[in-house]
């Protein structure tokens, strides 16, 4: 199998993995709209969403119209980079899907606390407090490695900013709702990256 074939297959596999992960989020509207929230920050979520869509639009312009395709590594390293990227993408997709399934009915597309909301601290939530965002970032970085493109890596880095603010908004609500239980959770588990672990 030639290097070009491997790279073409890797790119197709990345889209396949990302698409398969996205299928698990198709029920998002049904887990958000029409449900009872004790507190909700819809406007803040819309601001973050608009920022995220702007970043994706800028990436699309740079990639497909301006053809900014600066490589991350020389062509000789493209194949091992792509294979590593696929591994990272698969790990990120599994983490994002696992996290969403672990949340169950408490998952939503907005910043809010639902009636009877339960704090999840086991499974993927024992590694980071926001494993869905961790998984998304891993998939974006994996895509940059598969494509061997600096612009896609830049998108992943910039996307970390709105995702971080997601955590800020969400945690302010969880701190008020769960109180000491959430503070203890923050003390034990890192925010987005599984390492380093917080000092206990």
pLDDT digits (tens, 9 = 90+) for 55-67: 999 999 999 999 9
- Cα dist. 111→77, 166, 198 in Å? 41, 8, 25
| Cα(107)–Cα(112) distance, integer angstroms | 10
Token pair for residue 64? 């497909």
Could you report the per-residue pLDDT of 96-154, keeping only the tens digit for each? 999 999 999 999 989 999 999 999 999 999 999 999 999 999 999 999 999 999 999 99
Q: What is the pLDDT of residue 134?
A: 97
pTM: 0.93
- Contacts from 63-70 at CB under 8 Å and sequence distance 24+? 63/149, 63/151, 63/152, 68/151, 69/149, 69/151, 70/149, 70/150, 70/151
| Cα(44)–Cα(165) distance, integer angstroms | 10
Strand ranges in 32-190 using DSSP code E only, listed in sequence order: 37-41, 111-114
Could you report the per-residue pLDDT of 128-139, keeping only the tens digit for each? 999 999 999 999
Residues in a beta bridge with 40: 112
Q: What is the pLDDT of residue 88?
A: 98
- Cα dist. 49→3, 46, 109, 158 in Å? 38, 5, 10, 14
Residue 155's pLDDT band, with cuts at 50, 70 and 90, is: very high
**CA angle at 171 for the pair 169 and 174, rounded to the nearest 5°:** 120
Residue 200 has pLDDT above 60, yes or no: no
10 Å Cβ neighbour count for 181?
13
CA-closest candidate to residue 146, choices 59, 52, 68, 71: 71
Residue 199's pLDDT band, with cuts at 50, 70 and 90, is: low
Which residues lie below 8 Å from residue 153, measured CB to CB, with a gap of 6+? 72, 141, 144, 145
């Amino acid at each position: 199998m030639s290097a070009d074939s491997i790279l073409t297959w890797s790119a197709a596999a990345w889209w396949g993995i990302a698409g398969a992960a996205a299928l698990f989020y198709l029920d998002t509207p049904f887990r958000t709209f029409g449900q009872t929230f004790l507190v909700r920050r819809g406007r803040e979520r819309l601001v973050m969403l608009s920022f995220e869509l702007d970043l994706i639009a800028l990436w699309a312009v740079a990639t497909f119209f301006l053809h900014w395709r600066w490589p991350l590594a020389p062509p000789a390293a493209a194949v091992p980079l792509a294979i590593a990227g696929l591994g990272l993408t698969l790990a990120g997709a599994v983490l994002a899907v696992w996290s969403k399934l672990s949340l169950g009915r408490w998952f939503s597309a907005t910043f809010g606390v639902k009636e009877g909301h339960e704090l999840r601290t086991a499974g993927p939530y024992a590694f980071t407090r926001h494993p869905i965002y961790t998984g998304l970032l891993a998939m974006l970085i994996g895509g940059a490695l598969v494509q061997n493109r600096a612009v896609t890596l830049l998108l992943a880095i910039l996307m970390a900013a709105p995702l971080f603010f997601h955590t800020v908004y969400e945690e302010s609500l969880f701190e008020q709702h769960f109180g000491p239980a959430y503070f203890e959770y923050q003390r034990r588990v890192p925010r987005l990256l599984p390492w380093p672990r917080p000092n206990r």
